[in-house]
Structure 1
Amino acid sequence: MGPKSKIQRLIKRLIPSGGVAERAVKSGIWMAGQNAFGRVLQLVMLIILARLIGPSEVGLMGIALLTLSGVRKFTKMGLNSQLIQQVDSNVDAYLNTTWLLEIARGVVIFTVLFVAAPFIAQVFDTPRATDMIRVIGLSPLILGLQNPGVVYFSKNLDFHKRFVYYLSGQVVQLTVAVGFALYEPTAWAFILGFVSGDLMMLVLSYALHEYRPWPSFDRSKAGELINYGKWLTASSILYWLYSEGDDAFIGWLLTPAALGFYQYAYQFSNAPATEIAQVVSSVMFPALSKLKEDTSKLREAYLQTLRVTAFVSFPAAMGILIISPSFVQVFLGPEWEQMIPVMQILAIFGLLRAISKTFGPLWKAIGRPDYITKLSFIRVVLLAIFIWPATEAYGIVGTALVVTGIFIFPMMPMDMYLTVKAIDGTFTQVLRELVYPLFASGAMAAVGWYTASLLDVPPIVELPLLIVLGVVVYGVLVLFLESQFNWGVRQNFETVLSSIRA
């Protein structure tokens, strides 16, 4: 059997099928692949743009993205979450209404951004951002027109189709952005790439799913969808305030260049956490929604998810903490070195964020999305209290310390309390899944830090050496903990492999 036939056979095996557990595992593999490839494409684009257009232009494109993200979050209705959460496998009766609601939302967002763009640019003291904000406002208008049938990619755990749908948009975005930056090295390269990627996803939404929407509106179904989504709308607004409010504050108080440093530090330090969180939330929510009636199965599924999340996110965060100086010097250049301490602090934030992303899907699956909203409100209040004095005193380092510190306490303890309550479990069960990877990755980081202090080699040599050393040390410690304390990671991998072979 040739290599091509083997690849085709593997892909066929990975197409989600079987029971909920098997479909969830296979979907997780597709989602992990999607996010890994997607993140690589995005980081490659960001690295190239950093070299071509510089921190100030990066900050300018960041202002346009912040504005779009804010309006999107303030108008999010959570329609797809309601359709995924429903027990019924067929939700066709809702799709036309969903489609019209999303189109209306897209029109509203575009109109608001077009009218408000000059005022927003004035707030950030960047007149050039006006036209960029208007053009990037086309994105929600384009995506509002996409086929609502794509919700079945998540609802039915058909993530192989979502893989093609999402990555094709990322490839187009990278190609257009880099191509334009080579011609004209300005923030416009990213803006045009962003919109082009959305156009590709619009086309593929109709190519990959057979459903064809028609303009018909059902008021009762719209009311049902909006009633469920009200908590998600509120939590979406609060999420923007605490996840991107720090970016907006830096752009307003400091400079576009400072915003560029902070956003890049976040992007690169949180890349693993972002992808882990995306896989977890996308696969975990529909899978747990199918198990919500059986508490013991729900608890088991959640703890296994937490174990895998912690197994990957702990070493990723600790590794970034150690390699940040050499990474920035090799890939971004000397003008970006101001972001190194921020990147190291935000690596810890990324770890906490990845772990916390296992909480939200669980709460939504059991019908308590209000938990997300209420906790987000507390986080926003704390951020509003501390961010100004910290940023004024220590710049973007102070901002990073506040964002991370709030997550450590009091948010994480409260998150864990509600999660233990939701699965009818104990704190010991949850903490057990965190202790082993904390020990292994902590020891890995200590060895890496000590080695880095001894090395006297160029950054381009130091970086791969530290990465290889970290992988080896963490791997050895994982094998030790698994053999001596029955961690449970081997069982998780055996489940994945058996699902692939099935």
Structure 2
Amino acid sequence: MSLRERIRMVVSRLRPSGNTAQRAGKSAVWLGSQNVLGRLFQLTTLAVLARLVGPAELGLVGIALLTLSAIRKFTNIGLNTALIQKVEEDVDSHLNTTWLLEIARGTLIFGVMFAVAPYVADLVFSEPRATALIRATALSPLLLGIRNPGVVYFKKNLEFEKQFVYKLSGDATQLIVGIGYALVEPTAWAFVIGYVAGDAVKLPLSYVVHGYRPWPSFDLEIAKELVGYGKWLTGSSILYFLYSEGDDVFVGWLLTPTALAYYQYTYRFSNAPATELSQVVSGVMFPAFSKLQSDEEQFRDAVLRTVRVTSLIGFSSAFGIIAVAPTFVLAVFGEAWLPAVPAMQVLAVYGMLRCIGRTFGQVWKTIGRPDYITKLSALRVVLIAIAIYPMTAEFGILGTALTVTGIFVFPMMPLDVHITARAIDAPARDLYYEFVFPLLASLVMWAVVRSARVALDVNPFVELAVLIPLGIAVFAGAVLVIERPVQWNVTDEFKQIARNIVS
């Protein structure tokens, strides 16, 4: 059998089919591969630009991306989420209306960004050089608003092999164009041009990978239905920006663009493993939960098993990053970025909590209570607003990181657990139980890796090459030692995922 035939056989085997568990398992492979490769492309771009362009220029990029993110969040009406949540498999009747709403939203975002760019750059961040970057970045939502609305079926029907091609094509384009431009002209424009180029490629590709062809027809009743579902998601999207990126805005306003680059880079790299996992959970488990919501026992079991897996990977990723952060920053970014290490270590804990918390959010959306997300987000925003100024003024970006992470540890995570336990009709201790053993195994790994890092005195690239496999090996060993005596059985979950994939 030739290599091409083998590849075709594997791809055919992995096309989502079978029951809900099997489809979710195979979809997790595609989505996980997409997120790993996509994040690898993105982080490679960021790492190369960190050395070629430097933190001061990348701080200007941060201002442009924050502006884009803010306007996107404030105009998010959750159209795709509403379509995915619907029990009906066929939502073609809704797609033309969705397409026109998305075009209107993309045009609105472009117009607003173009108009407010000088005011944001001058008055908020005192960096007039960011004006042109903000306006150029505004092309992204304009392009994505015109894309094929049929791409919603990739998530709704768990067809993530198509999503894989669609998403990675844009990420690969951004990497090639961004780095290529930086090699010729190492400025902030390298990132922005690569970013817009990625979306420019995804626009025509969306019509290639899905056969739906939209037509400009608008149904007011369908629009009311979609917006009615998404109104709570709009509120939660705004609040999500305030508590997840409001700290970035605050750092850029109170400190400097260089400090903003430090903070954004440490956030992205420290949260990368947990972010990718949570995106897999969000992308796969929300459709899967929606299909199981009528069976209370299966739904509860699926939630607990999902938390078990996310906790395992979330804890291990966080403690691994904490252990290797100084070596990683020195090897990948260079000595100029070392002041960002303490914030990176704190934000790794934040990434772990986000990873676990996103599972809870999918549960609330599945049971038709997206308002829980909005209300808890509002509480988090208030608490952050109270603490962020004195902490940042006193400790810089480390104070900002401590603020957002500390509030997530308490009171937000206990509230998330309590509400989720009530939603699935289970004791809260069942959810907390899933945290205990991943924490123990992660602490063992952290202690061993940290000791090895202190003992080693070699080139940082060599040191990193030693510490990462050492951490993986120690963590895997700790899991195997712990799980049998206490009947944790977490490896059974991964075996079941594998069976769902190959069955």
TM-score of the aligned structures, taking structure 1 as reference length: 0.99
C-alpha distance in 2 between matches for 1:10 and 1:488: 29
User: Where do 1:233-272 residues align within 5 Å?
Assistant: 233-272=234-273
* Structure 1 equivalent of residue 70 of structure 2: 70
C-alpha distance in 1 between matches for 2:160 and 2:401: 34
Deviation at 1:428, TM superposition (A): 2.2
Letter in 1 for 2:90: N
Matched, 1:106 2:129: no
* Structure 2 equivalent of residue 83 of structure 1: 83
Unaligned ranges ≥5, structure 1: none
* Structure 1 equivalent of residue 370 of structure 2: 369
C-alpha distance in 1 between matches for 2:389 and 2:451: 35
Deviation at 1:298, TM superposition (A): 0.6
CA deviations on 1:93-114 (whole Å, 9 max, x unpaired) are 1000000000000111101001
* Structure 2 equivalent of residue 454 of structure 1: 455
Between stretches 305-314 and 226-235, larger displacement belongs to 305-314
* Structure 2 equivalent of residue 29 of structure 1: 29
* Structure 2 equivalent of residue 412 of structure 1: 413
CA deviations on 1:435-462 (whole Å, 9 max, x unpaired) are 1111101111011122222222232222
**Does the Cα contact within 8 Å between 2:39 and 2:272 map onto a contact in 1?**
yes
CA deviations on 1:14-57 (whole Å, 9 max, x unpaired) are 10001111101111111100000000001100010001100001
Letter in 2 for 1:410: P
User: Where do 1:360-439 residues align within 5 Å?
Assistant: 360-439=361-440
* Structure 2 equivalent of residue 479 of structure 1: 480
Letter in 1 for 2:435: L
Deviation at 1:238, TM superposition (A): 0.2
* Structure 2 equivalent of residue 15 of structure 1: 15
* Partner SS for 2:292: coil
CA deviations on 1:335-355 (whole Å, 9 max, x unpaired) are 111111111111111111111
CA deviations on 1:237-291 (whole Å, 9 max, x unpaired) are 0000000000000101110000000001101101101101111111111110111
**Does the Cα contact within 8 Å between 2:96 and 2:218 map onto a contact in 1?**
yes
Between stretches 426-435 and 298-307, larger displacement belongs to 426-435
TM-score of the aligned structures, taking structure 2 as reference length: 0.98
Deviation at 1:2, TM superposition (A): 4.0
* Partner SS for 2:458: coil
* Structure 2 equivalent of residue 491 of structure 1: 492
Letter in 1 for 2:17: S
* Structure 2 equivalent of residue 321 of structure 1: 322
C-alpha distance in 2 between matches for 1:305 and 1:498: 16
C-alpha distance in 2 between matches for 1:22 and 1:446: 38
Letter in 1 for 2:427: T
Deviation at 1:393, TM superposition (A): 0.6
Deviation at 1:10, TM superposition (A): 1.6
Matched, 1:342 2:326: no
C-alpha distance in 1 between matches for 2:501 and 2:307: 21
**Does the Cα contact within 8 Å between 2:25 and 2:498 map onto a contact in 1?**
no
* Structure 2 equivalent of residue 115 of structure 1: 115
C-alpha distance in 1 between matches for 2:75 and 2:20: 32
* Structure 2 equivalent of residue 179 of structure 1: 180
* Partner SS for 1:106: helix
Identical aligned residues as a percent: 57
Matched, 1:353 2:354: yes
Between stretches 440-449 and 234-243, larger displacement belongs to 440-449
Letter in 2 for 1:90: D
User: Where do 1:125-136 residues align within 5 Å?
Assistant: 125-136=126-137
- Please report the RMSD computed on the Cα atoms of aligned residues, expressed in angstroms: 1.0
C-alpha distance in 1 between matches for 2:483 and 2:9: 32
User: Where do 1:33-52 residues align within 5 Å?
Assistant: 33-52=33-52
Between stretches 52-61 and 448-457, larger displacement belongs to 448-457
Deviation at 1:483, TM superposition (A): 2.3
Letter in 2 for 1:415: D
C-alpha distance in 2 between matches for 1:56 and 1:402: 24
C-alpha distance in 1 between matches for 2:461 and 2:161: 36
**Does the Cα contact within 8 Å between 2:278 and 2:359 map onto a contact in 1?**
yes
User: Where do 1:126-275 residues align within 5 Å?
Assistant: 126-275=127-276
CA deviations on 1:223-242 (whole Å, 9 max, x unpaired) are 01001100000000000000
* Partner SS for 1:293: coil
C-alpha distance in 2 between matches for 1:401 and 1:197: 34
CA deviations on 1:354-410 (whole Å, 9 max, x unpaired) are 111111111101100000000000000011100001000111110011011000000
Letter in 2 for 1:83: L
**Does the Cα contact within 8 Å between 2:263 and 2:340 map onto a contact in 1?**
yes
* Partner SS for 2:147: coil
Deviation at 1:125, TM superposition (A): 0.7
Deviation at 1:496, TM superposition (A): 1.9
* Partner SS for 2:54: helix
Letter in 1 for 2:499: S
CA deviations on 1:460-485 (whole Å, 9 max, x unpaired) are 22212211221111111111123222
* Partner SS for 2:212: coil
C-alpha distance in 1 between matches for 2:459 and 2:131: 42
* Partner SS for 1:414: helix
* Structure 2 equivalent of residue 300 of structure 1: 301
* Partner SS for 1:213: coil
* Partner SS for 1:358: helix
**Does the Cα contact within 8 Å between 2:166 and 2:205 map onto a contact in 1?**
yes
C-alpha distance in 1 between matches for 2:456 and 2:107: 56
Letter in 2 for 1:7: I
Deviation at 1:305, TM superposition (A): 1.0
C-alpha distance in 2 between matches for 1:313 and 1:335: 29
Unaligned ranges ≥5, structure 2: none
* Partner SS for 1:261: helix
C-alpha distance in 2 between matches for 1:311 and 1:212: 42
C-alpha distance in 2 between matches for 1:244 and 1:259: 11
Letter in 2 for 1:217: F
C-alpha distance in 1 between matches for 2:199 and 2:318: 30
* Partner SS for 1:185: coil
**Does the Cα contact within 8 Å between 2:60 and 2:257 map onto a contact in 1?**
yes
Letter in 1 for 2:36: A
Q: How many residues align?
A: 502
C-alpha distance in 2 between matches for 1:496 and 1:5: 25
Letter in 1 for 2:455: L
Letter in 2 for 1:9: M
* Structure 1 equivalent of residue 310 of structure 2: 309
* Partner SS for 1:270: helix
C-alpha distance in 1 between matches for 2:344 and 2:464: 16
* Partner SS for 1:303: helix
